[in-house]
Amino acid sequence: MRSSGSPVRLVIALSVAATLAVFLVYTSLAGGRTPSLRPSQLAEHSGQVTLAGLVLGPVRGDPDDAGIRFTLRDIDGTATVPVVYRGSVPDLFRAGRHIFMRGQLRGQGFVAIPGSMVTQCPSKYAPKGES
């Protein structure tokens, strides 16, 4: 049996598939990324970023009303930034926890996107024998 298809159609189909694959790899690796920063690096960037740091108390406010307000410090440093966060707060959130959240610098403070906060329990990530 002989195939009635043209080799030109096969080349075009493979070219389209290769182009889509390259586009998919690009968008998954580079296209949708937001920079991940510490408070000490925040002033250098505009637009949306992911901010990581250590929560300093006191934590004030209501997440559903005007938002909670707290200070975030570099995990290994001294630079700080005031934060306003509205939305659901993870159960493990409190002063002394490492957190990550998306948002942007507005004026002198960081305004986080609702629902973007993730906490990290320091003891869970410490080497065995240190927790």
Per the CB < 8 A criterion, the answer to whether 99 and 52 are in contact is yes
As a three-state string, the secondary structure of 28-86 is HHHHCCCCEECHHHHHHCCCCEEEEEEEEEEEEEECCCCEEEEEEECCCCCCEEEEEEC
Hey, what domains does the chain have and what are their CATH numbers?
36-125 (2.40.50.140)
Of the two residues 114 and 33, the one the predictor is more confident about is 114
DSSP three-state, residue 23: helix
Per the CB < 8 A criterion, the answer to whether 110 and 72 are in contact is yes
DSSP three-state, residue 91: coil
Q: What is the pLDDT of residues 35-92, one digit of tens each?
A: 789 999 998 888 899 999 999 989 998 877 788 999 999 988 899 999 999 988 888 8
